[in-house]
Amino acid sequence: MKFEDLDINSRVWVYQSDRPFLPSETEVIEKEIALFVNEWNAHGNELTAGGKIEENHFLILAVDPQYGSASGCSIDSSVRFVKSLGEKLGVNFFNRLKVLTINEQGEPEYVPYGKLRDFPQRLMFNTLVDTRQDFEKAFKIPVSRYLDSLK
């Protein structure tokens, strides 16, 4: 199912790459996502799921809870999928020490997590969104908003 067609309350997982995807990788990732979400299940029950690439740096997966929720085992299988895809492409989807921001020229730029305070005026990509609705409303947020939420 297309990500955009999933219910607004669908559970979302955001995986940030440690570099932009190459055009040839985008094709591979899109095909792999389609194969994975079509076979993704929880306790033998098919999940209604979707996925996509966003901003050429993110792999997004989602499950519509109206038709079954992802459980521990199914979430583990998605993590294995993402790790395997990362190994295949030489991409690290699990480095939480770098945050993708949008610099003053409007270009994506990674900032070390510990240096975010130096860039409060920038937008950052919020990988902590947990529903499709949150993704639509708060995937890009000001760094200052994120820092305020930590207080």
Total-model pTM: 0.93
Two tokens, residue 147: 């820092």
Strand ranges in the chain using DSSP code E only, listed in sequence order: 11-16, 41-42, 45-46, 49-54, 58-63, 98-102, 108-112, 123-125, 140-142
Q: Mapping DSSP to helix (H, G, I), strand (E, B) and coil, where does residue 45 land?
A: strand
pLDDT of the residue at 72: 77
Q: Domain-by-domain residue ranges, the chain?
A: 3-89
Q: What are 68-104's pLDDT values in tens digits?
A: 677 778 888 999 999 999 999 999 999 999 999 999 9
